[in-house]
Amino acid sequence: MAGLLLSPTEKIYILHGVQDDYRSDGRTNIDYRPMELETDVVSHASGSARLRLANTDILVGVKTEIDVPKPDNPGLGKIDFFVDCSANATPEFEGRGGEQLANNISNMLQRAYNSSQAFDLKQLCILEGKQCWKLYVDILILECGGNLCDAVSLAVKAALFNTRIPFVKAALMDGGSVDFQLSDDPYDCKLLEAGTAPLLVTLCKIGDKCVVDPSAEEESCSVISLIVGITGNPKYYSKDAIETPNFKCKCSTIGMNGPGSVAPETFKNAINQGIIAANSLDEALGRALLRERQECNNFKKNSYGFLK
């Protein structure tokens, strides 16, 4: 990204590799780089996750607030995405330097989540037309090592999966005001259903082919990239997989980024490639999150955070 200089020879080397489905670091075109994931890292957020994809470091915190639903959707809650590019990642982000990139990503997420099949806002309803939860999904980009969109979407999904919403008993009072009671038991919470939450897959067009999870070097070889948002499959996020219906992945958003252009045929292939990549990514994420939750239940989790 920032100040990366590649010679033409290096670029050609990368290009040829992609053509042969064998990339410079040994991956195939739909392989991701190794990731590290930890949930519940910000103790006073309702849900949080930290994801490290190679050198990309994302921290997501979910906070909840009580809000009034929109009049046209009285039974739905609200979800809001906010991306902050920390100057820790690069001095370019200092001040308002990262704002444009941040807006791009948050808009992409907002669009990807804007469907009942991607994320069910009904579960955030407290009292129809009167009160609902508003989720603030705050994404902090701490280090940029390429492929921000994908990393962000993974971290967001993990954080939502980790989010606990307190049980609230609400009752309508005379005069239309709402009165609600919170349980004094901190364990009295419900977990969000985030199985269908979409993942974003960036397909970077290099030559005629596309690769997922481009490294910073690969990104600089490409003129255009496609971003597809693919809904998740709740099957991967439930302990008894049999009872949970098997959802087919759906494409909830498509975006393009960069100055180049794409042939329709490449486009179609790319989307299919994205769906396959997203599906395997989703499955891996689900497995990791379930394992972590299991560990949490067995003994009090020791949070590593940044100390590891």
Partner 1 sequence: MPGPDLLSSQGLRLDGRRPNELRRIRCKLGVFTQPDGSAYLEQGNTKVLAAVYGPHQASKSKSSVEGVVVNCQYSMATFSTGERKNRPRGDRKSQEMSLHLRQALTAAIKTELYPRSQIDIYIEVLQADGGAYCASVNAATLALVDAGVPLRAYACACSASMAWRGAEPAPLLDVGHVEEAAGGVVLTVASLPSTGNIALLELSHRLHSDYFEIVLSRAMQGCRDIEIILDRAVREHLAEGWTKQDIVTI
Partner 2 sequence: MWTTKTFLTKTKRGNVLKIVREHYLRDDLLCGSAACNVCPHKDDELVLDANPESICGLFDYNHYLVLDTNVVLHQIDVLEEDALKNVIILQTVLEEVKHQNTAIFQRLLEIIGNKKRNFYSFVNEHHKDTYVERKPGEKQNDRNDRAIRKAASWYASHLSIKNMAERFPQIVLLSDDENNRKLAQEEGIVACSVKDYIENVNGYAGLTDKLSKNVIPESCSKDALYPAHLTPTQIHAGIRNGKLHQGTFHASRDNFLEGNVTVTGYEKSILLQGHIGINRAIDGDIVAIEIFPQEEWRQPSDIVLEDKAEDPGDFLEEESQLLNTKKTVANDDICPTGKVVGIIRRKWRQYCGILMPSKFPGATRHLFTPAEKRIPRVRIETRQSDILASQRILVALDSWPRNSRYPLGHFVRSLGPIGDKNAENEVILLEHDVPHARFSEAVLACLPPDDWTIPEEEIKKRVDLRSICVCSVDPPGCTDIDDALHARRVGDRYEVGVHIADVTHFVRPHSALDREAAARATTVYLVDKRIDMVPDLLSSNLCSLRGGEERLAFSCVWEMDENANVLSTKFHKSVIKSRAAMTYEEAQIAIDTTSRNDEVATSLRTLNALAKKLKQRRLDNGALLLASPEIRFQVDSETHEPLEVQAKRILDTNSMVEEFMLLANVSVAERVAADYPQSALLRRHPAPPPANFHTFLKAARRQGFELDVSTNKSFSKSLNEAVIPERPFFNTLLRIMATRCMQQAVYFSSGSKTQEEYYHYGLACPIYTHFTSPIRRYADVVVHRLLAGALGADATHAALLDARAAQALCDNLNYRHRQAQLAGRASVALNTHILFKNREEIESAVVLAVKRNALQVLIPKYGLEGPLYLPSDKFLYNEEENIQICNDIILKTFDELTVRLTLDSTNLQHRKLVFQLVTPFIPGVSYEKEKADDDKMDVEIVEPKTNVKKRKEVSEPKKKKKSKK
Nearest to 59 by CA among 89, 98, 95: 89
For the chain, the residue count is 308
65 part of the interface to partner 1, by CB under 8 A? yes
Question: How would you classify the pairing of strands 209-212 and 178-182?
Answer: unpaired
Q: Evaluate whether 114 touches 192 at the Cβ level (below 8 Å).
A: no
Site for partner 2 in 25-54 (CB under 8 A): 43-46
What mask, x for binding partner 2 by CB under 8 A, covers residues 169 to 188?
Answer: --x-xx----x--xxxxxx-
300 part of the interface to partner 1, by CB under 8 A? no
Question: How would you classify the pairing of strands 35-39 and 168-172?
Answer: unpaired
Give whichever of 118 and 125 is closer to partner 2, judged by the CB atom: 125
**Beta carbons within 8 Å of 84's beta carbon, 6+ residues apart:** 98, 102, 138, 139, 140, 141
Q: How far is the CB of 184 from partner 2 (least distance, A)?
A: 6
What mask, x for binding partner 1 by CB under 8 A, covers residues 138 to 177?
Answer: x-x-xxxx--------------------------------
Q: How many CA atoms lie within 13 A of 164 on its CB side?
A: 14
Nearest to 198 by CA among 281, 288, 290: 281
Instruction: Compute the distance between CA of residue 100 and CA of residue 108 in angstroms, rounded to an integer.
Output: 12
What mask, x for binding partner 1 by CB under 8 A, covers residues 35 to 54?
Answer: xxx----xxxx--x---x--
Residue 84 touches which member of partner 2, partner 1, none, C-beta under 5-8 Å by kind: partner 1
299 part of the interface to partner 2, by CB under 8 A? no
Q: How far is the CB of 200 from partner 1 (least distance, A)?
A: 17
Binding residues for partner 1, rule: CB under 8 A, are: 34-37, 42-45, 48, 52, 55, 57, 59, 61-63, 65, 82, 84, 86-91, 94-96, 136, 138, 140, 142-145, 284-285, 287-288, 305-308
